């Protein structure tokens, strides 16, 4: 059984010589999808509240959780977190600036909208938010190591899944509620049959090229 995320990284940066008090975990959802926005979330956990942290002990990398579990944990995180926020960058902007800049923009937006200002960032993957004047650490597979990043992964995933369900009602022929915009066989067949819609990422090669 894979190890679950923990607070060892957060604890390390809240004790001397590096003493920070508001550690924000950041993660994204939807970077590899063919349609829909990229969504990032930032979460500051109450590191000084054992009771609240106890309520979050089931938090894990969102990819390891069922949709029902993610919804339950979404409610717990939003209730117990010191602060949380999301950033959303639509497909049209992704086409204009590229997926990596769009992901960074979503993360910057999420961090900026936190009601408690973070003084340290833990970021999933290799991304660096160099335009933010905040000390930060990028962590490969951070959503499986840091509880703050794992919490952010759940907020980002649930938020995006809900957005894709809304898009499904506007474009029911594509099945967005089922595959969330990712390149499944069902989705590729729908694109081949109906062509792309405005919510597709037209700069992505599977959309630029005919799908069979």
Please give the helix or strand (H or E) that residue 102 lies within, else none.
Answer: helix 99-112
For the chain, domain boundaries: 8-208
Question: What burial letters (b/e) apply to 20-43, b meaning 16+ CB within 10 Å?
Answer: bebbbbbbbbbeebbbbbbbbbbb
Token code pair at residue 189: 């067949």
DSSP 63: G
User: Judging by beta carbons within 10 Å of its beta carbon (0-12, 13-18, 19+), is residue 14 exposed, middle or buried?
Assistant: middle
- Kindly state the average pLDDT of the residues 113-122: 98
User: Judging by beta carbons within 10 Å of its beta carbon (0-12, 13-18, 19+), is residue 7 exposed, middle or buried?
Assistant: middle
Residue in 29, 14, 15 with CA at minimum distance from that of residue 150: 29
Other Cβ atoms within 10 Å of 205 Cβ, number: 8
CA angle 85, 115, 86 (to 5 degrees): 10
- Kindly state the average pLDDT of the residues 166-190: 97
pLDDT at 133 over 80: yes
CA–centroid distance for 100 within its chain: 13
pLDDT at 86: 99
CB distance 33 to 188 below 8 Å: no
- SS3 call for 192: helix
pLDDT at 209 over 70: no
Token code pair at residue 47: 């590191």
pLDDT at 212 over 50: no
pLDDT at 1: 53
Query: What CATH code would you report for 8-208?
Result: 3.30.420.10
**pLDDT tens digits, 12-61:** 998 887 789 999 999 999 999 999 999 999 999 999 999 999 999 999 99
CB distance 130 to 146 below 8 Å: no
pLDDT at 210 over 80: no
**pLDDT tens digits, 74-94:** 999 999 999 999 999 999 999
CB distance 56 to 76 below 8 Å: yes
pLDDT at 3: 80
- Kindly state the average pLDDT of the residues 114-134: 97
CB distance 30 to 37 below 8 Å: yes
**Residue length, the chain?**
212
The pTM of this model reads 0.95
pLDDT band at 11 (very low <50, low <70, confident <90, very high): very high
């Amino acid at each position: 059984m894979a190890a679950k995320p923990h607070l060892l990284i957060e604890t390390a940066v809240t004790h001397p010589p590096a003493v920070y008090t508001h550690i924000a975990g950041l993660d994204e959802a939807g970077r590899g999808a063919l349609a829909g926005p990229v969504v990032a979330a930032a979460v500051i956990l109450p590191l000084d509240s054992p009771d609240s942290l106890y309520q979050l002990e089931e938090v894990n990398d969102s990819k390891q959780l069922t949709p029902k579990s993610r919804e339950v944990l979404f409610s717990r995180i939003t209730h117990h977190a010191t602060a949380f926020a999301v950033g959303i960058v639509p497909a049209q902007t992704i086409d204009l600036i590229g997926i990596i800049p769009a992901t960074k923009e979503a993360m910057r937006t999420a961090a900026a909208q936190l009601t408690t200002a973070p003084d340290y960032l833990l970021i999933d993957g290799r991304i660096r938010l160099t335009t933010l004047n905040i000390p930060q650490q990028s962590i490969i597979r951070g959503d499986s190591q840091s509880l703050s990043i794992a919490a952010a992964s759940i907020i980002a995933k649930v938020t995006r899944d809900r957005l894709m369900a809304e898009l499904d009602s506007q474009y029911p022929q594509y099945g967005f509620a089922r595959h969330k915009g990712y390149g499944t066989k069902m989705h590729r067949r729908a694109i081949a049959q109906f062509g792309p819609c405005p919510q597709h990422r037209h700069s992505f090669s599977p959309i630029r090229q005919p799908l069979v």
